[in-house]
Every structure is written in structure tokens, then in C-alpha cells.
Amino acid sequence: MNTRWQRHDSPRGEVYDSRWECMAAAGQNIHGEADLVEALLAGSGGRSVLDAGCGTGRVAIELARRGFAVVGVDADDAMLGTARAKAPELNWITADLSDLSRVDDRLPDAVDLVLLAGNVMIFTEPDTEGRVLSNLSARLAPGGVLVAGFSIRADRLPLQRYDDLAAAAGLVAVDRWATWERTPFSGGDYAVSVHRAAR
């Protein structure tokens, strides 16, 4: 597997987690993603989530604590090693999101929500973003939603391109915010986008 993330010098594993631990110790809410997922699924009663690009499992573990059925997928074994150590009872799968065929039998047939937090979409390999969205869209139950939050950078994935790829993957735009806390989006360098399965 080869992704931009694996060539990036970001901290991994427990070192990566230490940032969130410091924020939590300072009284900051580190569960904005889980809060949004819970709010989005409240209306439909959905309970299943695929955390795509789950990293060390921070969001997946919190969602499981809240009673959701969660599967975490990531291409980075160092990150997943930390996730497995923290929550060995959860289903953690090593896979490249642009090619899920090798782990197809380990993934749920359909989920109510696919989550792409933590800049996943700008760390995929260039020109694989459409395959990633198609693979994940195919995992959504009818009416399911895909939520992605990522930094807007000129050298990565522009929002219009993301929307075009999402539409090609059978997804319809529903909402967009500037933060996981649903601050209205009016431009800027970060966006949280919600798309619904068209079928």
C-alpha cells in the first residue's frame, strides 16, 4: 500500500495520540466528529459506522462507547497497532481505501454512515480519490451518508473536484460546514461535507 500519508512525516501511534490527550486534559472537546455522527444518525436511527482512515481509533472508540457498531479501516499499521492496543474488541482492518477488494469479506455489507475524518481525502494517492469515494459509497445502506472533513489546500483536493467525484460515486450533497461543530461554511481552509447515497 502506498499513500501520501505513508510518505508524510506526521507523528504515528502513541505520539500522534498524545496531542489529543493533551487537548482533553486541557478541557477541550476532542469528540466533535463523534458528536456530529451521532447527531446525523439520530433522525434515521442508524447505528452502524465505517470509520475510513481511522488512524489510532480515537473516533471509532468513542462511537463504540456510545453504542454504535463501528469498523475501523486504515492503511497505516503503526496507527492501527495503537487502535488495537486501546480497543482490541473492535474490528480493525488494514487496507488501502482505494482497493478494498482484498478485505471485502471482513467489511460490513452496508453501513448507515461512512466517516472520513482527519484529512483522509488529502492523504490518499493523487488520482485515487474517485476510487476511494466509489468504494465507500458502495458500502452505504440506502439513504446512508458519507461525511468527510479535510483541509482545503491548493496542492491537494479542491472542494469542487471533491463534489464532482462524490456525484460520480452516486452521492448527493446534503450539507457543508467549516467545523465538526457545524459552523456555517463560507469559504476558508477546512470543510466538513455531508453527502447522501442517491440510491
Share of the chain above pLDDT 70, in %: 87
| Predicted pLDDT of residue 117 | 96
pLDDT tens string 104-116:
999 999 999 999 9
- Of the pLDDT bands very low, low, confident and very high (cuts 50, 70, 90), residue 50 is very high
Is residue 169 packed enough to be buried (19+ CB in 10 Å), middle (13-18) or exposed (0-12)? buried
Average pLDDT over residues 84-96: 96
For residue 76, what are the contacts with CB-CB under 8 A and spacing of at least 6? 5, 6, 12, 55
Give the number of other Cβ atoms within 10 Å of residue 155's Cβ: 7
Q: Which amino acid is at 193?
A: S
pTM: 0.88
Q: Which has more confidence, 8 or 57?
A: 57
- Of the pLDDT bands very low, low, confident and very high (cuts 50, 70, 90), residue 119 is very high
pLDDT at 2 exceeding the cut of 80 = no
DSSP, residue by residue, the chain = ---TGGGS----HHHHHHHHHHHHHTT----HHHHHHHHHHHTTT--EEEEET-TTSHHHHHHHHTT-EEEEEES-HHHHHHHHHH-TTSEEEE-BTTB-GGGGGGS-S-EEEEEE-TTHHHHSPTT-HHHHHHHHHTTEEEEEEEEEEEE--TTS--HHHHHHHHHHTTEEEEEEESSTT-PBPSSSSEEEEEEEE--
pLDDT at 4 exceeding the cut of 70 = no
Q: Which has more confidence, 113 or 16?
A: 113
